[in-house]
Amino acid sequence: MKSGEIRRKYIGFFKKHNHTEIINFSLIPENDPTVLFTTAGMHPLVPYLLGQKHPQGKYHLNS
């Protein structure tokens, strides 16, 4: 199995379970001296966690 196929299966699994795929981001923070979320792969979400509007709107957790 090639890496591209593994990646597609991995992403497909989460999409099948109602997760949203977001575009890739660099792990190197831009204009942000912190690295709190970088190692968890969450750095692209920092602006939205700090209150900026998300370009895809609001999301609600499924109960």
- The reported pLDDT for the residue numbered 61 is 47
The more confidently predicted of residues 4 and 59 is 4
Structural domain contains residue 43: yes
- Residue at 60: amino acid letter: H
What is the spatial distance between Cα 20 and Cα 3, in angstroms, rounded to a whole number? 21
Residues of the domain holding 58? 25-63
Q: What is the mean pLDDT of the segment spanning 6-13? A: 93
Q: Please check whether residue 48 is in contact with residue 54, taking contact to mean a CB–CB distance below 8 angstroms.
A: yes
Residue 5 lies in a domain: no
Residue 32 resides in a domain: yes
Q: Does some domain include residue 54?
A: yes
Write a three-state SS string for 1-63.
Answer: CCHHHHHHHHHHHHHHCCCCCCCCCCCCCCCCCCCCCHHHCCHHHHHHHCCCCCCCCCCCCCC
Q: In total, how many domains does the chain have? A: 1
User: pTM of the entire structure?
Assistant: 0.43
13 domain residue, yes or no: no
User: Is 4 part of a structural domain of the chain?
Assistant: no
pLDDT digits (tens, 9 = 90+) for 42-54: 767 777 778 887 7
Mean pLDDT across the chain: 76
**Tens digits of per-residue pLDDT, 26-35?**
766 677 666 6
